[in-house]
Chain A
């Protein structure tokens, strides 16, 4: 690393954010955010569209000046010591900052040079990173032809040239197909295994749970919950097992059979012949038990599965509204994607 600053030693947390505020005219994007990230740990900021995730990342990476509060990265104030902060951070923003005309290798090398590495060192580092991110075969092709997943990987690789000690990933997997997403998770895990501090944002609870030591849920510029993934899931009732019953006449029997496995009452949807039970954090155990119980009673099922609570569930549990742009609890409690929430009038009438 090329830290030119004769920095004093810092023994505190890697990231400290206190009362951070930022408005764009009338829009209050951040309304007093507090968070702490210990060195070497992963914090995930979870929130729906417009929650303020990108704004927070931009303030922490010195791109935006906050209106109030303060933020320290390894003890360096993001406003007063912005140049010193830039020496130690890495950023992969929400859209990949790749120059399409340049090859993957050139994209990384130039970033190395701009981090004041020597030509040789930049080249070496680019080689390493291309290897790490599985881009060796495409390294000398213009980035224009890269797939979405490759572009993301290249972007992440380029943000690591300067060997940042604290790095920021803004929705690193948004827009990736499931396979690339899993690949990206693997890469992120490897990075943090090396001891770097990471703050990442996502809209997916599952992702937050997979990658982070701690999760902070933000909504409309405020922290509405914080804790480990299990913490949060317990607060919202944990996992859910759901199945359809082939023979509708046995719907009632099915509910009786699984009742002992459920936390609370099973939910029975007559219309679709579906049964849902909450199983807390017992996860796949309860899935196995459900299958056994139903099988034992001779009940045939379809679409049997266990679901992690989604961001929608978190929001419903924590705020009483779903994360659809400012939906008030009084107006609609509909879940995203359900017909009555998305298509008004015609379709709704048919259902009711």
Chain B
């Protein structure tokens, strides 16, 4: 298209000062957090999925499979199990993130936000803050159930708090991946049926429920080195005692890498029109 001559010269509008934008960005993020939490509490099916399901896992592994799985940690299998269940539940909680964002994109809610004077990253950040709260509540409930069936922290209060914190940060990292999946696939049903299928091998082919050494050799190579196992090993170390340093920096590196890759991807997917 050739340039048209038009008598109208567009206004030259400077961006508002950075401080102003940051202030608005924070307010947008918190408003969206509040909104997400409200929506979460009104979705009984999501609540069920995120809270009841892990509780069932605890009971199932503790009483059904537990007897057949040999581990050498203080306190026996239930102590081995709980960090694994917590990490797995944290990862699975990200289903809610992906599905909610896909649904909102599909229904035009995300496009509506994009047409409003809002910070571009606010939808994702608001979501992640809400996820942090959501995960903390979920993990504490699961821990309480764990306590009821015999789980005990063996390494003192400080590391116990760190373990929960690591579980939450890990869950939020997986949520950024899921947020990207939800915003990119944009179809609630697809996201629900195959968008998050990768979570199953990632959490089950790990040290979450059974020692990696019990798996066939070819599987061990993957199971031993993938991030879920590394994070779970670190969580076990924090909960039950044992060497921490090596897994600590590996966990930190993995989590950082996930954020560095997926936060920008998710923000970009948000900016693409629905």
Contact = CB atoms under 8 A, between A and B. Distances in A.
B116 A102 contact: no
A16 B108 contact: no
Interface string A85-125: 01101010111111101100010001101111000000000
Interface stretch (A73-81, A201-209, A242-250, A305-313): A73-81
B109 A116 contact: no
Interface string B1-22: 1001010101111111000100
A274 to B, nearest CB: 43
B6 A7 contact: no
A24 to B, nearest CB: 11
Given A98-B107, A101-B42, A115 B116 contact: yes
B131 interface: no
Contacts of A106: 38
Contacts of B15: 83
B115 A81 contact: no
Residue among A19, A101, A111, A158 having the largest count of chain B Cβ atoms under 10 Å: A101
Contacts of A80: 10
Contacts of B14: 5-6
Given A18-B4, A21-B1, A80-B10, A86 B115 contact: yes
B8 A75 contact: yes
Contact of B109 (A6, A70, A77, A99): A99
Interface SS of chain B: helix, strand, loop or mixed? loop
A63 interface: yes
A62 B115 contact: yes
B114 interface: yes
A101 B109 CA distance: 13
Contacts of A12: 8
A101 B38 contact: yes
A200 interface: no
Contacts of B113: 114
A2 B27 CA distance: 15
Interface in B208-227: none
B268 interface: no
A4 B20 contact: yes
A102 B38 contact: yes
B31 interface: yes
B136 interface: no
B10 A77 contact: yes
A84 B13 contact: yes
Given A8-B11, A19-B4, A77-B10, A116 B117 contact: yes
Interface string B79-114: 000000000000000000000000010011101111
Interface string A260-273: 00000000000000
B16 A110 contact: no
Contact of A58 (B8, B38, B273): B273
Nearest to A72: B10
Given A32-B1, A83-B117, A110 B35 contact: yes
A286 interface: no
A86 B117 contact: yes
Contact of B1 (A68, A102, A111): A68
Contacts of B273: 58, 63-64
Interface string A156-199: 00110010000000000000000000000000000000000000
Contacts of A8: 11-13
A115 B118 CA distance: 7
Contacts of A84: 11, 13
Given A83-B117, A101-B42, A114-B28, 14 more contacts: A16-B6, A62-B115, A63-B111, A63-B114, A63-B273, A81-B10, A86-B115, A93-B111, A93-B112, A99-B39, A101-B39, A110-B35, A114-B118, A115-B116
Interface of B: 1, 4, 6, 8, 10-16, 20, 24, 27-28, 31-32, 34-35, 38-39, 42-43, 104, 107-109, 111-118, 273
Lowest 5 CB-CB distances: which A-B pairs, in order? A97-B112, A68-B1, A75-B11, A97-B108, A101-B42
